[in-house]
Amino acid sequence: MSQFSRIGLIGRLDNDRAKYTVRRLIEFLETCDVKVYIDEQTGQLINVDRDFEGVSKVAMPELGANSDLAIVVGGDGSLLSGARDLVEYNVPILGINRGRLGFLTDIVPDDIEQKITEVLTGEYVQEQRFMLDMRVERCGETVCRGDALNDVVLHPGEFIRMLEFELYVDKHFVTSQRSDGMIVSTPTGSTAYALSGGGPIMHPKLDAIGLVPMNPHTLSSRPMVVPGGSLIEIVVGEGNSAIPQVTCDGQTHDTVQGGDKVIITKKPQTLQLIHPVNHNFYERCRSKLGWGGHLLERS
């Protein structure tokens, strides 16, 4: 008996291999006595109306409202996008990797049938990942909003120039800074852009947020880790010659001005991630980041 009866499919199908994987997944799910929904863009790319009569092509809100499991085919970027679309529906997400690194997308294409069968029969690990809410205030009014599973980044946009800004945590002034910007990262995002900026790797179960300055002018500026419930405010300086932007997960971009306040908090809803039973965070770090294995024989 399947643990999930309504499956939503999302894919970033920028190559033939990814399209093949989605079609193969649908063919397998048709044998599993489940209802399959597919988002409109993915369904159009694989001609789902022509080739799969039992699959419903729907808009993303309808997919979220009707699915009790969402499967994302693509890379980590595809899962990040799917997470932002589906988090409000509390739909668990499972990833099939057709990208490069695959930190969040666990299943390799060769294992689709075996791993999906295990998940449908209840053999899986489920964990919660918190996300970030971001809003930009200008003269006391909210001018844009966003959310992120990995990170919210203030950066200079198209210009390679330093930014000036002030950082506050829970209304306490922390520092003024001249740098290329600031990465505000969840534990999930600590192995992404924040890691490239010299930030610490945080275990996904930690209730913490990383603050990673990007190429700070003052060498004493170092990454910080603050409690996950913190209120983080970044006040953009008035004298910046660049046109700063705020980016969520590297996928949404909003332009900010001097005097704007970037406000970041933990999102009330959490993302439910599904992993195969053999999922191990430390093994993931070793395999994806090229860490060394055992030096000594184990008895």
Catalytic residues: 76
- φ and ψ of 62, to 5 deg: -70, -40
Taking the chain, what is the end-to-end CA distance rounded to the nearest angstrom? 40
As a whole number of angstroms, the distance between CA 155 and CA 86 comes to 27
Judge contact between 131 and 228, C-beta under 8 A. no
Say what the alpha-carbon torsion angle 95, 97, 99, 102 is, to the nearest 10 degrees: 80
φ, ψ at 276 (rounded to 5°): -60, 160
The total number of residues written for the chain in this structure: 299
Whole-number Å distance between alpha carbons of 103 and 287: 10
| Integer Cα distance of 44 and 47 in angstroms | 5
